[in-house]
Structure 1
């Protein structure tokens, strides 16, 4: 019988990989989507080029909120002790 902690750990690791892929897609999409032109044609937000603002600043804030929500909804508190539940 496999310890249920491994199942939980594997699920949470997969969630972590999905979050990394979302972060990369956001960063890459905005950085190379909006930043792929002539720098003279860039639009600016708060003094930053729009591609930088959306990919690095807004993307980071979005990911922090998304990770916090994900941890609250999908992650479980797991004991590290060797005792196995008798359930």
Structure 2
């Protein structure tokens, strides 16, 4: 678990939130593109290609993007302020 200062924690949280919003926008754009942009007559395994692209493709893209984001951008850290927690424990012990 990584130790960060109070300011670094909230900078990291904001960064993770921005990345999550970007991933969501990419997934929605991909779904719209495949659902409405692919030919309705093209068939693949007796299913329309738009169905495979929009349902199955979006699911696979979401898994890939989230896995990439978690490994590359997200950090494991404690959001609690350790200085405040230590002061409260010291007050209780006093």
TM more than 0.5: yes
Count the aligned residue pairs: 79
User: Which protein shows a greater Rg?
Assistant: 2
What is the CA deviation profile of residues 27-83 of structure 1, one whole-angstrom value per residue up to 9, with x for unaligned ones? Answer: 000101015x5xxxx112223210110111022112201210111011000103321
2:46 maps to which residue?
Answer: 47
Judge conservation of contact 2:32–2:54 (CA < 8 Å) in 1.
yes
For structure 1, the 5+ residue unaligned runs are none
Q: CA RMSD in A?
A: 1.8
* TM score, norm. by length of structure 2: 0.74
Aligned to 1:19, the other structure's residue is in SS state: helix
Q: Matched residues in 1 for 2:6 and 2:66: separation?
A: 28
For structure 2, the 5+ residue unaligned runs are 84-94
* TM score, norm. by length of structure 1: 0.79
Detail structure 1 runs of 4+ shifted over 6 Å in the superposition. none
